[in-house]
Amino acid sequence: MPICQHRGCGQDYDPANNPDGCCKYHPGAPIFHEGLKGWSCCPKRFTDFTDFLNYPGCASGAHTDEAPQDDSKDPNEALKELAQVKVDRLSLEQRTAASSMRDGAPKVELPLKTTASLERALAQQAETAAKEIESQEVQPGQACTHNACKGSYVDESSNEEDCFHHPGTPVFHEGYKYWSCCPKKKTYEFDEFLDFKGCTVGKHRWFKPAEESAKAKQCRYDWFQSDTHVVLTVFAKCIEPSRTSVKANADSITIDIVYSKSFTFQLELHLGGNIIPAESTVQLLSTKMDIKLAKAPGEAWAALTADGASSQ
C-alpha cells in the first residue's frame, strides 16, 4: 500500500478506498525558528517537538502519492509571524543556553529582618522546649549522647563523672575515618575509629539537643513579580534567624533555613533573570520567609529559574 505524501499525514492508504476528506494534513511547510516549531499554514507554535508532530492537519482531502508542492504562504511572512509569537515558558534550547551562562561572582549575604510575629512564635517554642526538658527523666542504662563517650547512667553519681568526647563531627574521606576536631588522628579501620578517646572532657549529656538532631525536610515555595521586584516566599514555621542565611549574586541564590527547632531546608536556584543583591532584602515572619529580590532594570521574568521551574 502506498504512503500518503501529505505533510502531517504519512498514513498507508488504499487507492481504491480514498474518499475526499479522509486525509488531514498541512499544506504549508514546517518552520523551526529560535526554539519554536510550527507549520507555515497555521498560527499555532510549539516548544515541544512531539506536540508539533502530533498537531492535527488544518486541511482535508484525499490521500496522495505526489510530493507536496511549494507553500501557499510566503515562508518569509511565516517567519515574521513566528518571531512575534509570545510563549509562556522557555524552550529547551533557551533553557540550555541560560543554564550555561552564570554569574561567577561570590554570593553576598542578604540582610534578614525579623518581625514581631516571629519573635513571639520563637519565644513560645523555647518555653515549650524548656518544659519538655524538665519533664524528661533519665533511665538507668541510658547512654551519654556525646560523640565517642561510652558512659551510661547508673544513678545520680553518673552526673559527676568525667565525659571524654569529641565535639566535632565524623569525617569519612578517601578511606580515612576521623573526627573533625582531631584531623591528625586518622585510621582506615572503622572499629579503631570508634575507639578513639574523646579529645574534650566535660560532663555527660543524657539528651541530645533538638538542633543536633535536625532533619532535612522539604518546604513549599512560590513567587510573584512586579515591575521592580521578584518576591520568593518559602513557607516554614518558626525560622531561627541565627541559623538561617540567604546569599545571592546577580543570577543565583542560596537559601539555608533551620525551622521548627528540628528541621532544615536548603535551596539553590539559578534565577530566571538578573537581580541587584545590594537592593534585595529578606523578611522573616512566623510562618514564612519573604525574599524580595530587586530586578535588573527592564527585565520581565518568564519563570523563577533559568530552567523554567516556577514553584514547588
What are 279-295's pLDDT values in tens digits? Answer: 999 999 999 999 999 99
On whether residue 235 sits in a domain, the answer given is: yes
Same domain, yes or no: 285 and 221: yes
pLDDT digits (tens, 9 = 90+) for 192-236: 998 999 999 999 988 877 655 567 888 999 999 998 999 999 999
Residues spanned by the domain of 193: 139-206
Same domain, yes or no: 236 and 118: yes
- Of 206, 237, 256, which one is at a domain's C-terminal end? 206
Same domain, yes or no: 47 and 162: no
Same domain, yes or no: 288 and 176: no
| 29 and 40 Cβ atoms separated by less than 8 Å | yes
Mean model confidence pLDDT for the chain: 82
Same domain, yes or no: 186 and 41: no
C-alpha span between 284 and 116 (Å, rounded): 9
C-alpha span between 56 and 9 (Å, rounded): 9
Q: In what order do the strands lie in the sheet with 215-216?
A: 108-109, 245-248, 252-259, 263-270, 215-216
pLDDT digits (tens, 9 = 90+) for 23-51: 988 888 888 765 677 888 888 877 766 67
Query: What's the predicted TM-score (pTM) here?
Result: 0.51
On whether residue 179 sits in a domain, the answer given is: yes
| pLDDT of 8 | 83
Q: Which residue has the cell 494534513?
A: 25
On whether residue 132 sits in a domain, the answer given is: no
- Rg of the chain on CA atoms, in Å: 32
Q: How confident is the model at residue 11 (pLDDT cuts 50, 70, 90)?
A: confident
What is the count of structural domains for the chain?
3
| pLDDT of 78 | 45
Same domain, yes or no: 78 and 148: no
| 143 and 152 Cβ atoms separated by less than 8 Å | yes
Same domain, yes or no: 235 and 285: yes
Same domain, yes or no: 219 and 276: yes
Residue 169, domain CATH = 4.10.1130.20
On whether residue 299 sits in a domain, the answer given is: no
pLDDT digits (tens, 9 = 90+) for 143-169: 998 999 999 999 989 999 999 999 888
Mean pLDDT confidence for 250-267: 90
- Of 206, 233, 255, which one is at a domain's C-terminal end? 206
Same domain, yes or no: 109 and 256: yes
C-alpha span between 244 and 36 (Å, rounded): 42
Q: How confident is the model at residue 310 (pLDDT cuts 50, 70, 90)?
A: low
Same domain, yes or no: 248 and 114: yes
Same domain, yes or no: 234 and 290: yes
| pLDDT of 33 | 67
Query: According to the per-residue pLDDT averaged within each range, which of 65-74, 81-90, 214-223, 302-311 is highest?
Result: 214-223
Could you tell me which residues are beta bridge partners of residue 60? 24
On whether residue 117 sits in a domain, the answer given is: yes
| pLDDT of 261 | 80
On whether residue 240 sits in a domain, the answer given is: yes
Residue 245, domain CATH = 2.60.40.790
63-67, 75-79, 123-127, 247-251: segment of lowest average pLDDT: 75-79
What is the share, in percent, of the chain residues with pLDDT greater than 70?
82
Same domain, yes or no: 189 and 223: no
On whether residue 7 sits in a domain, the answer given is: no
On whether residue 306 sits in a domain, the answer given is: no
Q: Of 298, 301, 293, which is closest to residue 272 (Cα–Cα)?
A: 301
Query: Is the pLDDT reported for residue 108 higher than 90?
Result: yes
